[in-house]
Chain A
Amino acid sequence: MNGPINISPMELAEEMSKMQRKLAAGIGTLRNMDDVHFGVTTREEVWRDGKVVLYRYRGAKTPTAKVPLLISYALVNRPYMVDLQEDRSMVKGLLEHGQDVYIIDWGYPDRSDRFLTMEDYIERFIGGAIDYLRKTHGLDAVNLLGICQGGVFSLCYAALNPGKVKNLITMVTPVDFHTSDNMLSNWNREIDVDLLVDTLGNIPADMMNLTYLMLKPWRLFSQKYVGMVDILDDKKAMEDFLRMEKWIFDSPDQAGEAFREFNTQFFQKNGFVNGGVKVGDADVHLRLVEMPILNIFAEQDHLVPPDASRALRDLAGTDDYTELSFKGGHIGIYVSSRAKQVPETIHDWLGKRSR
């Protein structure tokens, strides 16, 4: 046959028939599936401030690292992505290497949290958690790992409290918000953030979800579910799929004032690059981030383009700067088959700086 399509009627009929078989098998798969769990590693609450909780992860062996590692995740999704399932857990990887891992869980802000500011998130919550760790471990400074928006917060914290952060790791963290390939930033630039926050109060999670799906609307809202039919007869693959779906749509509302500050200072004014970032009354200058930095970014990241992260190299004040360019996307960095290199790299990098 000439032309782009070379399919016989029989082949097409067989393709349809295969789809029918997959759909039919799917009903059986779904009925025999176990409950989908996430967050596989044992953790214990060690500190709390309001809805914000600091957890310590407990691995199979006692940590060998002398300095604890605090993970600060983004506000826009739940932090269990770093410990999603048994065979896809960055936390597990870090614990196996002997790290002493803690994580801040921001909780689900409600209307009473509408007036939480960036200062609250950075100085009160991250600062409170770090002070707790410094106190209980008898250290002046701890290691901080900030992810995505949590990385931005971590950079702010490190700039304002350099003596309390021994080593800083940033993962898929935007620094230059105005790179030409940053879709999310482009969409934010003409939005009247004050009007948005004054109208909505907290920013509804469902609206945030829609925004993220709209970044790749056909792939994320159509192709993905058509593709799901292929795995309907595979129990394990379906469990993984559902776990990921659960995480994608399990989003907290965003505290209005913090959202206002974050969007204005970063998405609109590109504050790290252009200056003018403020946390409370304090000015944030990345030049004051002088501790060692490991900057990890994903090459196919549609949310935080690699160039947005790479900008840290020139803006941070440190002389000890390392980059890890990960072949994958914003989520693949935790859950893909290549993701195992991430905890290993973090551990090795920290190890060299613990002496």
Chain B
Amino acid sequence: MANSSGSGSSDFDALARQYWGMWGDAMRGAAPKSAAEVGMQGFQDAIKSWTGQASGSGHGFDNVLGHFGRQNGDWFAQMQQVAAQFAGRDNSAQDIANAWKQALGGAGANPFESLLGGMRGPGLEGFEQWSEAAKPYLQGMHAETTGTLNTPTFGFTREHQERLQVLAQAQLDFQDTMSAYNGLMGDVSKAAYSRFESKLAEREEPGRQISSARALFDLWIDAAEEAFAESALSPEYRKVYGAMVNAQMRLRSGVQGMAEQAASTMGMPGRTEIDSAHRKMAELERQLRRMQRNQEKEAQQQPVRTAAKPVASEKTPAAPKRAAKPKPAPKPASKSAKKAVKSASRPAAKKALKKTAEKSAKKTLTPATRKPTKPASRKR
């Protein structure tokens, strides 16, 4: 088998030659095995070998391989097998559609469930992935609560028991909603097979016939996407999908609550505490900005007032002077503002915040009070 550290593509070449050689021979009727017998394993081995050779080449291609290698080769390889069954002989739309269905697992096959369940890899997070990641924890919880879901809780651990019961129920609910979603995808799969057969029937006349495995694969993609779109735009999908997402969020929320509880027992901060701190910071920052804006507005009105009262303007000669100094790009989140936010948790924070805010407001305010100048590039 190939490895990524190999100097060339010889491993892949050898494996691929072997696979496609057998495949070609089977097609030509020169080999004892049929194309179907050459089978998926050979193709998968060849693709696996190629993936190994191609990985580590940089340019972000490893991420692409993460998606490519997951299952895409398989779908196409299976379609190749189907095409091989009908190459060189009469066929019908129904036969091909049935063969495709068989290739994917028979009457109950649910390719949508397989595809969506397999949509993972770099940059992707599906709902099943989280469930798998949380599985060990959930299994432990499940063992603890089996058979006691609806029994009354008592004793000094009753709150803990209650939380476990809620969590176990949430897990069951999520499984139910996931089953409902997969059931809907089963319906979509059936609709996709049906559309595939109809599309095949449209290509029976000479001139419109399918002349490659790839074209057959693309036809399936069209059928599958149309069937999915019809469902995905329906009120039923909205309901089933929404229920699944909501159920998982309830489950996640329960798990997080348990984790926080455990963290709290050990004196560690949890999400709630950290969120609370972030919320305070965001609110303080917002208040600070409001104050700055108000001061800016006041300052903009000030020249009018000073013009009306020349005596008053003499009292504040520094302000216009400072205002005339051009400043670089204003940074509303100035150091002093950040300081104010930091210090807000200390006693007398309000006072400090007000003072610092006023100070920093003047800083950001100054460019606004002068008449804006055009940049050099505009003087043409």
Contact = CB atoms under 8 A, between A and B. Distances in A.
Contact of A33 (B29, B57, B245): B57
Contacts of B200: 4
Contact of A27 (B9, B60, B206, B239): B9
B103 interface: no
A27 B89 contact: no
A6 B212 CA distance: 8
B159 interface: no
B116 interface: yes
Interface string B353-380: 0000000000000011001111101101
Interface string A204-240: 1111011001111111011101101000000000010
Given A4-B201, A114-B275, A183-B229, A12 B119 contact: no
A17 interface: yes
A186 B144 CA distance: 39
A17 B17 CA distance: 9
Interface in A263-285: none
B275 A186 contact: no
Contacts of B241: 187, 190-191
User: Interface majority SS on A: helix, strand, loop or mixed?
Assistant: helix
A192 B246 contact: yes
A199 B245 CA distance: 11
B9 A28 contact: yes
Interface stretch (A156-164, A168-176, A243-251, A346-354): A243-251
B249 A214 contact: no
A91 B286 CA distance: 33
Contacts of A180: 233
Given A11-B212, A136-B375, A36 B59 contact: yes
B111 to A, nearest CB: 9
Q: Which of A198, A201, A222 has the most CB of B within 10 A?
A: A222
Contact of A134 (B242, B243, B372): B372
Interface residues of A, number: 95
Contacts of B124: 206, 209-210, 213, 249
B239 A190 contact: yes
Nearest to A192: B246
A213 B116 CA distance: 10
Interface string A1-42: 111111111111101110010011011101101011000000
A7 B211 contact: yes
Interface stretch (B20-28, B306-314, B317-325): B20-28
A221 B225 contact: no
A128 interface: yes
B67 A7 contact: no
B122 A4 contact: no
Contacts of A46: 329
A20 B329 CA distance: 57
A190 B367 CA distance: 48
Contact of A9 (B8, B54, B88): B88
Given A5-B210, A199-B256, A201-B271, A138 B374 contact: yes
Contacts of B9: 24, 27-28
B168 interface: no
Contacts of B183: none
B47 to A, nearest CB: 8
22 contacts: A1-B90, A2-B90, A5-B87, A7-B83, A7-B210, A10-B27, A13-B20, A15-B214, A115-B278, A135-B367, A136-B372, A183-B233, A187-B232, A187-B242, A195-B253, A199-B252, A205-B123, A210-B119, A210-B126, A214-B116, A214-B119, A225-B72
- The 10 tightest CB contacts between A and B, nearest first, are A190-B242, A249-B123, A3-B91, A206-B125, A115-B282, A9-B27, A6-B209, A30-B57, A13-B24, A4-B200
Given A218-B115, A226-B214, 5 more contacts: A3-B96, A26-B50, A27-B12, A47-B329, A137-B374
